[in-house]
Amino acid sequence: MITVILKTKKMIRIKNYKASAIVSTIIILSVVLTTVLSLILVSNIGRNVSSSSNESLVAYQRADMGVEKTLAAIVKGYSAPNNLSTPVTSGSWDDVGVCDASSGKIKKDNLYTIQLMKRINPVTSPDLENVACNKAGLKFSEIILVKAVGIVPGKTQRAISAVVPVPVAP
């Protein structure tokens, strides 16, 4: 009879060890799972930030390209340093984009949009106003500022502006 009781106590002890091993394993697996899920979350956040930063950079580069092409067209439109009264013609913006008659802005596919600006009154006011790219009688020398918005369709837009250089007569 004593032997049977001892075997039963050993069996109870072994069962207790098995239960604690299962609980320990579950705790360790929970910690590992939490760590792995945290790493996945941090990795996804980093990827999203990187993607957003890349889209922002592309939009900025597109805006910069629009400004550079517009400035080149304006300087080309001066035709000579002594001739600042050259009027804008219908083909002046061909290298830059298409002059949208409804908005007065120059548009290039889904890359950028350009807004030209001039002084309201060159003598009395430093304030600027938007000017349509197809405005009759507009002279290249009247354009003071070029604003460009670079576009990554459906995602990001970046805007920059540049002052138009005026050539100095020799």
Query: What whole-number percentage of the chain has pLDDT above 70?
Result: 84
Q: Where are the domains of the chain?
A: 2-163
Mean pLDDT taken over the chain? 83
pLDDT score, position 37: 93
What is the per-residue pLDDT for 27? 93
With bands split at pLDDT 50, 70 and 90, how would you rate the model's confidence at 4? Answer: very low
Residue 70's pLDDT is 92
| Predicted local distance difference test score (pLDDT) of residue 82 | 60
Task: With a cut of 70, say whether residue 8 has pLDDT above it.
Answer: no
Q: Which residue has the tokens 């950079």?
A: 57
Put residue 154 in one of left, alpha, beta given phi > 0 → left and psi -120 to 50 → alpha: left
What tokens appear for 70 in the block? 């517009």
Per-residue pLDDT tens over the stretch 128-147: 999 998 888 888 888 899 99
Residues 6 or more apart whose Cβ sits within 8 Å of residue 143? 74, 116, 117, 118, 131, 164
Question: Residues 34-67: pLDDT tens digits?
Answer: 999 999 999 888 888 777 788 889 999 999 999 9
CA atoms of 68 and 148, how far apart (whole Å):
10
Task: Tell me which of 4-18, 59-73, 125-139 is least confident.
Answer: 4-18
Query: Is the per-residue pLDDT at 9 higher than 70?
Result: no
Over residues 1-10, the mean pLDDT reads 49
Residue found by looking up tokens 């993607």 in the block:
51
Question: What pLDDT was estimated at residue 88?
Answer: 84
